[in-house]
């Protein structure tokens, strides 16, 4: 283990060698933090698949959040599933790719962040891939390139918002400066799938205006996206003002009084103990497809956040639904 990192084992498909890292992480403390940091980095390094519902960085960050409910005695089922997420996926060593380029040659030419923003906005991906390394080196490999890409991505919250939130949170979790390029590459690969709309005008609504009514919404995808945008709103980001502009516009569009709310009796479900680690373990143990497990873990993490905001009486119906045995 001294000669190779956990990431190197995952990159080379040496999954049996990862068991020792799981055993260390079970002790909690720094071992757990190191394991989760490496797993988040590995997830950000996974090549996205066209029309994929959820990039692995999303579900990996959700598992990290849920594991945090019991740091002293972390769940082996959840730790093991972190490794499972990486199986049968292509992991790209983005850092090796950028380090193989000459930083001196790249940084000698003048370049401005505005040029990268214009290229992304116009979907000129050839220009994007030429400008990105220059911005990265000129900025001394700072995370500003990630923030720039995220800012533009929020112009399409329905398509990009969930991933951007979880990617930003994953990066904030003990990630190293050397990981910046990987996170930037992961995010730009998500954005290049479609043309971005133009920036939106500032809306009137804030997430707190929606909290009381969100429990009555039937569309679980809307609830999950709302939870992510509420968490972004509460965060500390250099470009938060711009993020909030797009979020408020999205809230106006999706939660105005003219939109029908499905008032089904969802909150009359059985009272549940709020042991989200136990619920996550049951979701993973149902032997569903990876896509189904990912969807349900992501949903659980969103409901976990909202129950803490709204009250533990809320969302019992939705959580009970996640525990049903059928492979939905």
Domain ranges of the chain: 6-86, 94-191, 207-255
pLDDT of res. 217:
85
How far is the first Cα of the chain from the last one, in angstroms, to the nearest whole number? 39
Sign of CA dihedral 237, 242, 245, 247: negative
pLDDT of res. 324:
77
pLDDT of res. 218:
82
Residue 269's CB: how many other CB atoms inside 10 A? Answer: 15
**Cβ neighbours for 4, distance < 8 A, ≥ 6 positions apart:** 17
Please tell me whether residue 46 adopts helix, strand or coil conformation.
Answer: strand
DSSP 265: -
According to DSSP H, which parts of the chain are helical? 6-11, 19-25, 29-44, 56-67, 76-86, 94-99, 103-107, 113-121, 125-138, 144-153, 162-172, 180-191, 211-214, 220-234, 240-255, 276-284, 290-310, 316-322
Closest CA to 266 of 326, 306, 207: 306
pLDDT of res. 215:
86
- pTM to 2 decimals? 0.92
Report the chain (328 residues): mean pLDDT per 10 consecutive residues: 82 96 96 96 94 94 97 97 96 88 60 93 94 92 95 97 98 90 96 92 95 87 96 96 98 73 46 81 92 96 93 83 66
């Amino acid at each position: 283990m001294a000669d190779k990192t956990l990431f190197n084992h995952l990159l080379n498909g040496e999954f049996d060698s990862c068991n020792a890292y799981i055993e260390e992480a079970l002790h909690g403390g720094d071992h757990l933090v190191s394991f989760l940091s490496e797993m988040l980095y590995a997830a950000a390094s996974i090549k996205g698949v066209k029309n994929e519902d959820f990039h692995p960085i999303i579900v990996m960050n959700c598992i990290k959040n849920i594991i945090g409910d019991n740091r002293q005695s972390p769940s082996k089922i959840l730790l093991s599933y972190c490794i499972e997420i990486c199986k049968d996926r292509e992991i790209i060593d983005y850092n090796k790719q950028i380090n193989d380029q000459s930083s001196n040659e790249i940084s000698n030419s003048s370049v401005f962040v505005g040029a990268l923003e214009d290229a992304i906005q116009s979907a000129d991906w050839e220009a994007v891939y030429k400008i990105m390394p220059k911005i990265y080196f000129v900025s001394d490999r700072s995370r500003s390139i990630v923030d720039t890409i995220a800012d533009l991505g929020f112009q399409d919250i329905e398509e990009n918002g969930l991933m951007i939130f979880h990617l930003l949170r994953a990066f904030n979790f003990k990630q190293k400066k050397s990981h910046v390029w990987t996170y930037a590459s992961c995010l730009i690969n998500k954005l290049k799938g479609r043309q971005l709309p133009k920036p939106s005008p500032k809306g009137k609504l804030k997430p707190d205006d929606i909290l009381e009514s969100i429990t009555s919404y039937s569309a679980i995808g809307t609830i999950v996206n709302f939870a992510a945008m509420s968490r972004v709103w509460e965060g500390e980001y250099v470009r938060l003002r711009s993020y909030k502009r797009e979020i408020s516009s999205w809230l106006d569009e999706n939660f105005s009084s003219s939109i029908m709310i499905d008032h089904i009796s969802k909150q009359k479900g059985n009272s549940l103990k709020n042991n989200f680690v136990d619920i996550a373990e049951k979701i993973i143990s149902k032997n569903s497809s990876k896509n189904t497990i990912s969807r349900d873990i992501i949903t659980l993490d969103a409901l976990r956040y909202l129950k803490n905001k709204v009250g533990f009486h809320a969302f019992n119906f939705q959580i009970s639904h996640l525990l049903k045995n059928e492979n939905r």
